Amino acid sequence: MKKVVIALSGGVDSSVSAYLLKKSGYEVIGLFMKNWHDESVTISNECPWLDDSNDAMIVAQKLKIPFQSIDLSKEYDDRIVKYMFKEYKNGKTPNPDILCNREIKFDIFMKIALDLGADFIATGHYSRIDEERIKGNTIYKLISAIDKSKDQSYFLCQLNQDQLSKVIFPIGDLKKNQVRRIAKDIGLVNANKKDSQGLCFVGKVKLPDFLKKKLKPKEGSIIEIDSSSKIYKKENFSSANIQDKLRNCAKRIKYKIDDGNKIGNHNGAFYFTIGQRKGLRVGGHDEPLFVLQTDVINNIIYVGMGKNHPGLLANTLLIKTNDEHWIREDLKLSIDDSMSVMARIRYRQPLQEATLHKFKSSLYLSFDNPQSSITKGQFAAWYIDDELIGSGVIS
């Protein structure tokens, strides 16, 4: 009998996953990860770890599977929290859920599970794994979930072949309503529990309060850039070199104070991200204001009015070679090659038609249509049909 250690979070998805694994004949062990100790920045009654741990234990008792809780808060702090502070301080916007999967669940947690004698680990992610023999090698494929509204393949975009070979996603072929129905049918305590939100295994967090732990408030100016500003007039770029064209398209305007007008103050540029509309506390406009750019060196936020402001839109993004990751190494582009893909730059964004262009020190992702709020530090992920084949950090 194959042994599976499941990351039992206390939520309905991992609980039903554990049930389905046991029903399929696996020996199942439930493991709850505690990754956070500081409740001062979490919103009360939103995913408190103690309630989740209790729910996970009750589910394990109901399913008659062994249960254990492990404290990975030090590893989470070292690998996720410190990285987040560094990125925000440098004016970037990290994705902690992708990092948590890469660094914690499918690295540290996986090693602990394998040390317990597990053949596989499992999680409650809405995603699927397929495998195929290609040129004598077994290739593992990360496939989108059946339930497109819940698909979480994007959060798994940094996994590799070795990790995928040891992972089971039991609910990837189910829709959310089916998962809840199973939970109700077998009498799970969390059948109607709300989905968790916020930071991976931390809960819903007041992000400014979280960041204030290390990044102290500092008053600065909010500068509004008019959508008709001359800085948005496109210059004729006549180079026939595709790399030069892509480099030019991927360049972002570096705003200066005299490009616009001061309309207010903020309490720290590193608390804001591109595309953000909440928290600016500036009124008197016909349409909402959106953050176009943050200057953390000079502590300035540049904003524009309306979701179609030209400062929000771009067709092309750059990924440095060191930040490029291929789940499908066999499909990795060679220098000067290109590939048509479907891509997204954030969770739940509908897949967009795009082209990858590979050069010696960089990879460009060029979209057929303009994208809003392309943000440094976030991840772009690219697909062929339903398969996620690679990803990279936006530069």
For residue 272, count CB atoms less than 10 angstroms from its CB and return exposed for 0-12, middle for 13-18, buried for 19 or more.
buried
Residue 53 pairs with which residues in a beta bridge? none
For residue 68, count CB atoms less than 10 angstroms from its CB and return exposed for 0-12, middle for 13-18, buried for 19 or more.
middle
Write down the catalytic residue from 47, 100, 157, 249. 100
Residue 52 to residue 61: CA distance in whole angstroms: 14
Residue 125, both tokens? 């992610």
Can you say whether the dihedral through the CA atoms of 200, 202, 206, 211 is positive or negative? negative
Residue 390 to residue 331: CA distance in whole angstroms: 9
Query: What DSSP state is assigned to residue 150?
Result: T
> How far is CA 50 from each of CA 69, 74, 75, 87, 201, rounded to the nearest angstrom?
11, 18, 19, 29, 11
Residue 252 pairs with which residues in a beta bridge? none
155, 121, 151: which is closest to 18 by C-alpha? 121
Residues 6+ apart with CB under 8 A from 295: 91, 255, 269, 301, 302
Residue 123 to residue 32: CA distance in whole angstroms: 11
Active site includes 47? no
325 neighbors 390 (Cβ within 8 angstroms) = yes
CB count, 10 Å around CB of 343? 23
> How far is CA 202 from each of CA 40, 190, 254, 285, 366, rounded to the nearest angstrom?
11, 18, 35, 36, 35
Active site includes 200? yes
Residue 26, both tokens? 């696996």
The residues annotated as belonging to the active site are 100, 200
